[in-house]
Amino acid sequence: MINLKQFKPLLLASLLAVTSNIAAIGSATAGMVEDVVERGTLRVGMSTFVPWAMRDKDGNLIGFEIDVATKVAEDMGVKVEFVPTAWSGIIPALLAKKFDIIIGGMSITPQRNLTVNFTIPYAHSGQQMAASTTLAKGFTTREQFNAADVTIACRRGATPCKAAQKMFPKATVRQFDDDAQAFQEVVNGNAHAMISSAPKPRFWMDAYPGKVFLPFGSENLTKGDEAFALRKGDADALNFFSNWIQVRTSDGWLQERHDYWFQDQSAWKDMVAPQ
């Protein structure tokens, strides 16, 4: 007859080992949302560009993306921590876990989607061109900008640069670290035009009516869908943030905030620090 008392210590040790392994597996597979809630802070990677995210005269971050990320964190019951990051390195920084999520006006592209997961879109914009009234005077067609003696400026690593290279392959495309530098090339007469996300070129035309114009009027060069970007392999996080976007789209909150920042800058332009 088997003496169960002899096996009791071994059985107990086995159960403890299994329990320990289950706990370890659960900890290892905990998703980003659970980590954020436990930490009490949502870390958001972003890059400044008007009117998505910018600094006010006191140095505080304001803009559409800032409102969106702050609202997401509020609905999660946590604080938000913004991690300003150069746009050209923002995806590598996400993958390196410098922050939890990118909420920064990032357009969905197949190339980016190979590296990160995208939520459903929370905004729909596109690329717009601002041109020099001196160098591009009389330019009204895309063909006129697609010439070897034309220079187009854009922000390095961003969708506008890809659009410039694709739509104007004969032109010289000069890339800069931020939109302000690219736009300054147009103002200084060193570039025929620059491309950026709408409505920024329209705002610049309003600020420099004698030096900048929109060669195609209100027409955008491209149409885009902006989404949150997440590291791959976390279906729960993708589900949570996509559903958050759906909820805030249905109740009108996202549209109200988008209209505030994009339709008219009169309500906030005096708050913004010089770019």
User: Which DSSP string do the residues of 232-243 spell out, in sequence order?
Assistant: TT-HHHHHHHHH
Q: What's the pLDDT band for 159 if we cut at 50, 70, 90?
A: confident
- Residue 162: CB atoms within 10 A of its CB come to 18
Quick check: helix, strand or coil at residue 86? Answer: coil
pLDDT for 275 equals 57
The answer to whether 242 touches 119, Cβ cutoff 8 Å, is yes
pLDDT for 89 equals 94
Mean confidence (pLDDT) of the chain: 88
Residue 165 token pair: 């290279």
Select from 3.40.50.720, 3.40.190.10, 3.10.560.10, 1.10.1580.10 the CATH code of 127-213: 3.40.190.10
pLDDT for 6 equals 52
CA pair distance 65, 19, nearest whole angstrom: 43
pLDDT digits (tens, 9 = 90+) for 212-270: 999 998 788 888 899 999 999 999 999 999 999 999 999 999 999 999 998 888 888 88
CATH number of 32-124+224-271: 3.40.190.10
**How is the chain split into domains, by residue range?**
32-124+224-271, 127-213
pLDDT digits (tens, 9 = 90+) for 96-128: 999 999 999 999 999 999 999 999 999 998 889
| Highest averaged pLDDT of the listed ranges 74-78, 138-142, 201-205 | 74-78
pTM score of the predicted model: 0.72
7, pLDDT greater than 50: no
Q: 264-274 b/e with 16+ CB inside 10 Å = b?
A: ebeebeeebee
273, pLDDT greater than 80: no
pLDDT for 202 equals 87
CATH topology identical between 32-124+224-271 and 127-213: yes
pLDDT for 145 equals 97
Closest CA to 63 of 271, 214, 274: 271
- What percentage of the chain reaches a pLDDT higher than 90? 67
pLDDT digits (tens, 9 = 90+) for 57-69: 999 999 999 999 9
Report residue 266: phi and psi, to 5°: -60, -30
